[in-house]
Structure 1
Amino acid sequence: MPAIDFQPHVHDLLWGMSAGELDAGAPDWAREVLAAGQPVVVRRGPAPQGQVAVGVRGRGREQRYASWMPRAALSRRVAPEQLTEAGAGQDAWPALRALAWLAPQLDALGLTWGVTGGAGYQLATGQTVLHGNSDLDLLLRAPQPLERGAAAELLALLDRGLCRVDLQLETPAGAIALREWAGPAPQVLLKTHAGPRLVRDPWQEVAA
């Protein structure tokens, strides 16, 4: 199968990786996940030429395994932005009820956002990974700076949800937690492909 011509982004779900492409030290549960045809999640980090840094997700929070997927193996991609309406009618879990409540309000703000974490994985695969205490994980594409006052207003909206909502701002330089950017700290933790670092301006690649 020819390689798909696209640039995977962090949090995308990718199908096509086989259990045989895991390294020899991979746990049995990770091999079982891939043998069942489940996707991997693009993670933040360096990758060898022709590969993508990914993580295999198991049933529990303790089941996470970092690996690399050959680009040539990619057969399907689902981005977080494609899952914003996928939870309609799926109200069994607080995280999905929170998503249904927030989605029209985030859309009305004209934001480019998506669903990640357990909710995104469940919506994309149909595999039940959520529980009653699950958080709702979201991302917001932020190619341009977001004023900290606007961040605080957005956080206030999210905190009115039915469960804890964690939102990551994806800037050109990396990702920061909205909750942190909405606060008063002069420096915030920026997650980059080279690792985390403290910066004053998350839209610049110059460390503070």
Structure 2
Amino acid sequence: MVMNAHLPVQPHDLLWGMPVAALPAGAPAWVVEVVSMGHPLVVRRAQVDEGLVAVGVRGRSRDQRFATVMKLSDLARQVKPEQLVEAVEKVESDWPALRALKQIRPFLDAVALPWGVAGSAGFELATGINVLHMDSDLDLILRTDQRFSREQAAEWVTALDSAICRIDLQLQTPFGAVALREWAGSARQVLLKADDGARLVSNPWQPQERAA
């Protein structure tokens, strides 16, 4: 049974349901172990055929990352970053990243834009698997369908820097993602991460800047 099948699958979503048999031949042993344990896969940005979604397998260490694809027909459960915000109130872990999330949440909740938790913090909140440590950053996403001004971005960087650990926030535009800190800077062009690759653009909200 596919849960949340009506929701669009987007980067940073966590997906469950991929069978070990669907892994490509020659996948590392640790990948086979992680998938066989039923851990979720993380949606990544890449162009794939219809009916598939690009995903990444996450291992125990930072160097254990494996890119593959998953059939949407195998999807059994889907959790989006926005759905993890409430989960922080129920965890007993006291890692700096989770304390920072509680600290900055009132500021983010006051904004009329969807936001959510990604990265290691999101993975731990969704699964209960201990992946955070004392030096973990807090990764967040903010869905910005309309242009987010560079002046506002600079104000946000100042607000987020008041937290007890580093916070990296990605602005999710209709055409890709750009780092809040980079958009708040003075460079004329910023790096936009899109499904068809990364490139420098002056306005991440302009479709004409996509690669042909």
Q: Is the contact between residue 81 and residue 115 of structure 1 (CA under 8 Å) also seen in structure 2?
A: yes
> How far is 1:111 from its partner?
2.7
Query: 3-state SS of the aligned residue for 1:29?
Result: helix
Cα 1:101–1:75 shift into 2, 3 Å:
same
Aligned residues: 208
Q: Is the contact between residue 199 and residue 206 of structure 1 (CA under 8 Å) also seen in structure 2?
A: no
Q: Give, in whole Å, the separation in 2 of the partners of 1:196 and 1:180.
A: 14
Match of 1:142 among 141, 144, 147: 144
Structure 1 match to 2:180? 178
CA offsets per residue over residues 133-177 of structure 1, 9 Å max, x none? 000000000000011110100111111111110000000111000
RMSD: 1.5
> TM-score, normalised on structure 2?
0.94
Is 2:70 aligned against 1:69?
yes
> TM-score, normalised on structure 1?
0.96
Query: 3-state SS of the aligned residue for 1:87?
Result: helix
Query: 3-state SS of the aligned residue for 1:155?
Result: helix
Q: Give, in whole Å, the separation in 1 of the partners of 2:81 and 2:74.
A: 20
CA offsets per residue over residues 34-89 of structure 1, 9 Å max, x none? 11111100000011221110000111110100000011100100000001121125
Structure 2 match to 1:81? 82
Query: 3-state SS of the aligned residue for 1:191?
Result: strand
Is 2:171 aligned against 1:166?
no
> How far is 1:2 from its partner?
6.2
Q: Give, in whole Å, the separation in 1 of the partners of 2:205 and 2:110.
A: 24
> How far is 1:92 from its partner?
1.6
Q: Give, in whole Å, the separation in 1 of the partners of 2:2 and 2:13.
A: 19
State the 4+ residue runs in structure 1 displaced beyond 6 angstroms.
none
> How far is 1:91 from its partner?
4.5
Query: 3-state SS of the aligned residue for 1:123?
Result: helix
Query: Which residue identity does 1:44 align to in structure 2?
Result: R
Structure 2 match to 1:194? 196
Query: 3-state SS of the aligned residue for 1:59?
Result: coil
Q: Is the contact between residue 90 and residue 97 of structure 1 (CA under 8 Å) also seen in structure 2?
A: no
CA offsets per residue over residues 81-128 of structure 1, 9 Å max, x none? 001121125352000000011112210122310000000000000000
Identity %: 55
Is 2:42 aligned against 1:41?
yes
Q: Is the contact between residue 30 and residue 59 of structure 2 (CA under 8 Å) also seen in structure 1?
A: yes
Query: Which residue identity does 1:130 align to in structure 2?
Result: L
Query: Which residue identity does 2:71 align to in structure 1?
Result: P
Q: Is the contact between residue 2 and residue 77 of structure 2 (CA under 8 Å) also seen in structure 1?
A: no
Query: Which residue identity does 1:70 align to in structure 2?
Result: K
Q: Is the contact between residue 90 and residue 96 of structure 1 (CA under 8 Å) also seen in structure 2?
A: no
Structure 1 unmatched ranges of 5 or more: none
